[in-house]
């Protein structure tokens, strides 16, 4: 009885062993826009290979790897790479910025818009607080660089200061103002600081003026008279027909002695 069972088992196994020994191997598969591993000239019956695709392509179905198996000289699950949609992974983190109005997801479709917002006290290089990025060809457009709030160059009439090589001044930058000829700073304030995108009170350049005091002079006027920078006037002297010329220059009065008006060229 035992020999009968053993004989029956051998009858089942022998054909299978013979078939395994005579099964046809597979030659290396051809795959467009992709590659496979392991790389060999031929593969024995039952061998599995994994394959992947070049950028812009993927295997059919889910995932980025495909599998094929050699069965008696033919590949089942023929390696195929199809054009993939250029999706994007998560947008990158940006220093001093957060992503707003966006739920968490791992994959973003083409043309998806994601908005960054700079933290309080920070702006982009263009002075904005928000910037959008877009999914393009599998990657994101350039995100924001958020820096401490900066200031635009201030306008100071009749004043000058050292200008920046950039379009904006960084936070805490200090400028020192000098006035053009004929103008002086009002008070002692000659600097301004950029703070949180605003300038501290800017210096003011005002026209120089001189006070002409006739006291002790041989003229008919008795009250001080203010002259603007560069302004000149004639004042009647006590002696009839004579005039005195006074001019404000560099914040000081320059005057001449009384002259007979017929000798004066106006």
CB-based contact 258:219 (threshold 8 Å):
yes
pLDDT in tens, 109-153: 889 999 999 999 898 888 889 999 999 878 899 999 998 888 889
pLDDT of 16 above 70: no
| Domain extents in the chain | 27-84, 97-148, 159-207, 209-263
Q: 27-84: what CATH class?
A: mainly beta
Q: Which fold has domain 97-148?
A: Complement Module; domain 1 (2.10.70)
The band of 69, judged by pLDDT with boundaries at 50, 70 and 90, is very high
8 A C-beta contact, residue 192 and residue 202: yes
> Does the domain made of 159-207 have the CATH classification 2.10.70.10?
yes
Q: What is the mean pLDDT of residues 2-17?
A: 45
Asked whether residue 104 carries a pLDDT value surpassing 60, the answer given is yes
- Select from 45, 41, 49 the least CA-distant residue to 21: 45
pLDDT, tens only, 189-203: 999 999 888 999 999
27-84 shares its CATH topology with 97-148? yes
Cβ atoms of 136 and 161 within 8 Å: the answer is: no
Q: What is the H or E stretch that residue 243 is in?
A: strand 242-249
Question: Which of the pair, 140 or 168, is modelled with greater confidence?
Answer: 140
**What's the pTM?**
0.42
Look at residue 247 and tell me whether its pLDDT is greater than 70.
yes
């Amino acid at each position: 009885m035992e020999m009968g069972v053993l004989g029956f088992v051998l009858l089942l196994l022998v054909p299978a062993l013979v078939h395994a020994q005579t099964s046809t191997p597979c030659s290396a598969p051809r795959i467009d826009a992709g590659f496979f591993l392991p790389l060999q000239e031929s593969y024995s019956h039952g061998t599995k290979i994994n394959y992947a695709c070049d950028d812009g392509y993927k295997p059919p179905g889910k995932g980025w790897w495909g599998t094929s198996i050699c069965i008696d000289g033919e590949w089942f699950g023929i390696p195929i790479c199809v054009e993939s949609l250029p999706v994007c992974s998560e947008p990158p983190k940006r220093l001093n910025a957060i992503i707003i109005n966006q739920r968490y997801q791992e994959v973003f479709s083409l043309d998806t818009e994601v908005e960054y917002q700079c933290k309080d006290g920070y702006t982009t290089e263009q002075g904005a607080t928000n910037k959008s990025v877009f999914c393009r060809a599998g990657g994101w457009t350039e995100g924001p660089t958020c820096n401490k709030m900066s200031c635009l160059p201030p306008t100071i009439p009749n004043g000058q200061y050292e200008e920046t090589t950039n379009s904006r001044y960084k936070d805490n930058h200090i400028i020192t103002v000098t006035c053009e000829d004929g103008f002086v700073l009002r008070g002692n304030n000659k600097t301004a600081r950029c703070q949180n995108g605003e300038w501290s009170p800017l210096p003011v350049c005002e026209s120089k003026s001189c006070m002409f005091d006739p006291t002790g002079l041989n003229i008919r006027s008795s009250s001080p008279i203010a002259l603007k920078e560069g302004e000149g006037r004639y004042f009647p002297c006590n002696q009839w027909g004579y005039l005195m010329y006074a001019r404000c220059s560099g914040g000081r009065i320059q005057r001449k002695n009384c002259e007979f008006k017929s000798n004066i060229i106006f």
